Amino acid sequence: MRWTPFRLKHSGSTKNWLARQFKDPFVRKRFEDPAHYRSRAAYKLLDIDSMYKILDKPDVRAVVDLGAAPGSWSQVAAAKVGTLGLSAGPERAAIDQVRVEKRVLRGEDFGLREDAKSAKAGKEAVTWSGGDIYDFDVDNDAAAADVQTNAGRDRGGKVVIALDRLRIPPIRGVYTLQMDFLGPDAAPTIASLLPDGKADVILSDMAANASGFYVRDSAMSLEICEAVYQFTERHLRTAREVGRDRAGVLVLKHFVHPVLTDFRKTFLEPNFRNVFFVKPEASRKDSTEAYWVCLGWKGVN
């Protein structure tokens, strides 16, 4: 008898998931794509960028990808912003990977699981991946800040930063930070990597682990949106600072629900010039997932 994957003893839900994956055109496209994206989610950001040109702008110097694991959005951002081919610069040519020993921030907020291997080692990682990979252990926070700041300058001010509590395998042209983006160490570390301490684009494709209960999942989505907005208040450059009406961009995943609509009206619409509701083609039709593309950050009124 000919073997097929479905002859293994899978549960009904697993069989349904496998069947959906085999039929999904974006899953097939990912495997054939020479860009080697880490997940099909890359095509959601590519679709958004094709509509609003949020990354293909000469004044976009810095992108922060929150909840980035496994890293497909950061791959897209690095290619669009142009950090893929950047070297470490003459002063730091041998330092393509930086690991900073710090305490591990624990917790289960947003349904994100801490990387067990890193937790056991008792470390958080800040990693630059340029060309070849070298390890450079930093003994103290002052030295770490010096390396990070110089590395950012050496790359001509073009920076892509990916953050997650889970470890993100190195991505060429991207700083990967394993930390809580609202934790006490996050703000100074991120600021040291960003030109003038500010980002031009903030991306969030985060979602809590689905429970199957619409009300609970919507509440968790609201919690994530509020946290990302809090981060945005601190780290997003305004349209006035850039000198372009639609500069200062936030792309924020959410799940459609009246409480999320209220969040949009209360926080996003007053503080951005434009807020667009987007359902990318790669977003599955049976999901309530959608995105707000927020353009022209005014700052907090």
Query: What is the DSSP annotation of 105-134?
Result: PP--GGGPPP-HHHHHHT---EEEE-SS--
Residues 6 or more apart whose CB falls under 8 angstroms from that of 286 comprise none
CB 98 within 8 A of CB 138: yes
Give the distance from CA 128 to its chain's centroid: 15
Told to judge if 117 belongs to the known catalytic residues of this protein, a careful annotator would answer: no
Amino acid at 228: V
Q: Are strands 62-66 and 201-204 parallel, antiparallel or unpaired?
A: parallel
Say which of 102, 253, 265, 279 is annotated catalytic.
Answer: 253
Strand partners of residue 296: none
In the numeric block, which tokens belong to residue 278? Answer: 């987007």
Amino acid at 221: S
Tracing tokens 């890359």 back to the chain, one arrives at: 42
Q: Where are the beta strands (DSSP E) in 135-288?
A: 136-138, 159-164, 174-178, 201-204, 249-255, 272-278
Torsion of CA 21, 25, 31, 35, to 10 degrees: -130
Phi-psi region at 26: left, alpha or beta (left = phi > 0; alpha = psi -120 to 50) = alpha
Question: Which residues form the catalytic set?
Answer: 253
